[in-house]
Structure 1
Amino acid sequence: MRVTLLGTGDTTGTPTVGCDCDTCQLARDPSDELREQLRRRDVTFTADGGVERTRFSVHIHNERTDESLLVDFSPDFRHQFLREDVALPDAAVVTHVHFDHLDGLGNCYRLVDDIDVFAADETDPETGESVAETVASDYAYLDQVSVEAQTPLESFETCGFEVTLVPVVHPPLLCYGLTVEDPETGARFAMTGDTCYDIPAASRRQLAGADLLLAEALVPADLCEYHPLGGDHHDSDGVPRTFGTKHMTREGALALAEELDATQARLVHAAHFYPAEEAFEAALAVDGEQYLLP
């Protein structure tokens, strides 16, 4: 199982369009020290030598079957696939219907002959539709796409993997993480999806014990003071593990990874609000990282 992090950023990505904050400037023009650190992580630099966190997406290749599973359709789909030169997906999963996880689906037009897109079958009180129904209605014009509704916490097979959608908490919409397991090798990948720290117990059990865990970590905890709702789900030292109500802090993501006993954890969905001196620290993923799971 080869996992490629196509997009590791939040809704605006890093660097953010029109932003000249220190973090975005450092992403555009990394210092020699940062560039060397990132080279050791085998990241992909941009044509002009910068680094990126484009909108979220993950590519998972099954080397046994030579099939590829895509998790979420980033609006940066075209750029990501050209940059990383990975195979087009044979199937995909959509975790929720926010644009930064879904709007790249239109790129399937003329690129693939057919693709199964898996999404949850639970009706969202906010939209009156399940994620599967929203994807099917919004992209009805794509004849290549077949939407397959799936029940959360019940595994299904695709691309030679066993995949399970995992309910998380990302108000006001229903949202899901997932696990992907190779039944032949036992390799196990997990991701939280967009969520606060307060993930249900059944979901935590499903996410536990992964070889690689992607945990959403929008901002460092000290930035909660700038959110209108502050922070939530504080630890014993009073550190907020949730930013507002629907995203984890860096500290929350690290605590969750330890609790879930992941062999390796990478923090994703990071915003450009991280201070420049912290924005590319070792735990925070950047686009282009690859992991070969046993």
Structure 2
Amino acid sequence: MRVTLLGTGDTTGTPTVGCDCDTCAAARARGVERTRFSVHVENERVDESLLIDFSPDFRYQFLRDEVSLPDAAVITHIHFDHLDGLGNVFRVLDSLEVYAADETDPKTGKSVAETVDDDYHYLDPLTVVPTSPLETVRICGLDVTLVPVDHPPLVCYGLSVEDPVTGAKLSITGDTSYDVPEASRDVLADADLLLADGIVPASLADYHPLGGRHEDADGVARTFGTKHMTREGALALAGELNADRTRLVHLAHFYPAEEAFAEPLAVDGEVYEL
């Protein structure tokens, strides 16, 4: 299983358009970037690839990293930075199965699958496959399980991707606070590679209008506001999940420049062989 981190940034990416902060300047000077979130998983055994989330930067990411076009995809939730690249399949793919959760979101009155189907009804290549969370499905020769996480006010999902032949396992927390349900933690546990949402360091929680949440014994916030984990929260979760290796993703340009590119914060283009 070859995992390519196409997009490791948050909703604005790094460098952020129109921003001259020290972190964005450092990214430009280093020649690195964090575009909007997307992960490419290639199963070399069957010569097929799975795309997790359709970044608005889809075209640029695929040209830059020269990965194969997806044979199937998973959409974790309906925020634009994870979904709006889906229109790129027009005139690029002849067909594409898109897997998305079938649970009704109380906020929208529709499931993620229904929203994708409705919003992209004009895309003939698209076949939306409603998928039940916590039930494993075989996609591109890999066992994929969607797991509910905590990203209010919308439903959102993380996932595990496991090779049934080699046992290699990738887990992705999805956009989430630290309050990941126990049943979901069980599915995400013991991954060879964990991609964990760690949007900012905990020190910045004081600047959020809602502050921090889920403090540890030392009062360190593991959730920034209500929707995302802090760096410290993501690393705490990684330890509890017994991840062999962890990379932090969905990163904001608000990290101080001296911390923004330190381990284990990911940048675009990283490749892992599991």
Q: Take 2:51 and 2:127, find their aligned partners in 1: how far apart are those partners?
A: 14
Of residues 262, 265, 273 in structure 2, which corresponds to 1:281?
A: 262
Match of 2:231? 250
Q: TM-score, normalised by structure 1?
A: 0.93
Match of 1:168? 149
Per-residue deviation at 1:228? 0.8
Match of 2:172? 191
Match of 1:4? 4
Match of 1:24? 24
Q: What SS is found at the alignment partner of 1:174?
A: coil
Of residues 237, 243, 258 in structure 2, which corresponds to 1:262?
A: 243
Q: After superposition, what is the alpha-carbon deviation per residue over 1:229-256, rounded to whole angstroms, capped at 9, x for unaligned?
A: 1000000111000000110000000000
Q: After superposition, what is the alpha-carbon deviation per residue over 1:144-165, rounded to whole angstroms, capped at 9, x for unaligned?
A: 0000000000001110001000
Q: What SS is found at the alignment partner of 2:55?
A: coil
Match of 2:57? 76
Q: Take 1:82 and 1:282, find their aligned partners in 2: how far apart are those partners?
A: 26
Q: How does 1:176-255 map to 2 (within 5 A)?
A: 176-255=157-236
Q: What SS is found at the alignment partner of 2:16?
A: coil
Q: After superposition, what is the alpha-carbon deviation per residue over 1:185-205, rounded to whole angstroms, capped at 9, x for unaligned?
A: 111110000000010000000
Per-residue deviation at 1:258? 0.6
Q: Determine whether 1:13 maps to 2:20.
A: no
Q: How does 1:108-187 map to 2 (within 5 A)?
A: 108-187=89-168
Per-residue deviation at 1:70? 0.1
Q: Take 2:34 and 2:16, find their aligned partners in 1: how far apart are those partners?
A: 9
Q: 2:24 is aligned with what amino acid?
A: C
How many matched pairs?
274
Q: What SS is found at the alignment partner of 2:222?
A: strand
Q: Take 2:207 and 2:166, find their aligned partners in 1: how far apart are those partners?
A: 45
Structure 1: which 4+ aligned runs deviate by more than 4 Å?
none
Q: What SS is found at the alignment partner of 1:251?
A: helix
Q: Take 1:224 and 1:58, find their aligned partners in 2: how far apart are those partners?
A: 27
Q: After superposition, what is the alpha-carbon deviation per residue over 1:241-275, rounded to whole angstroms, capped at 9, x for unaligned?
A: 00001100000000000110001000000000000
Q: Any unmatched runs of 5+ in structure 1? A: 31-49
Per-residue deviation at 1:125? 0.5
Q: After superposition, what is the alpha-carbon deviation per residue over 1:158-184, rounded to whole angstroms, capped at 9, x for unaligned?
A: 100010001000000000000001101
Q: Take 1:217 and 1:232, find their aligned partners in 2: how far apart are those partners?
A: 14
Q: Any unmatched runs of 5+ in structure 2? A: none
Per-residue deviation at 1:118? 0.1
Per-residue deviation at 1:89? 0.1
Q: Take 1:241 and 1:116, find their aligned partners in 2: how far apart are those partners?
A: 35
Per-residue deviation at 1:99? 0.1
Q: What SS is found at the alignment partner of 1:234?
A: coil
Q: Take 2:108 and 2:151, find their aligned partners in 1: how far apart are those partners?
A: 14
Q: TM-score, normalised by structure 2?
A: 1.00
Per-residue deviation at 1:282? 1.4
Q: 1:135 is aligned with what amino acid?
A: V
Of residues 61, 65, 87 in structure 1, which corresponds to 2:68?
A: 87
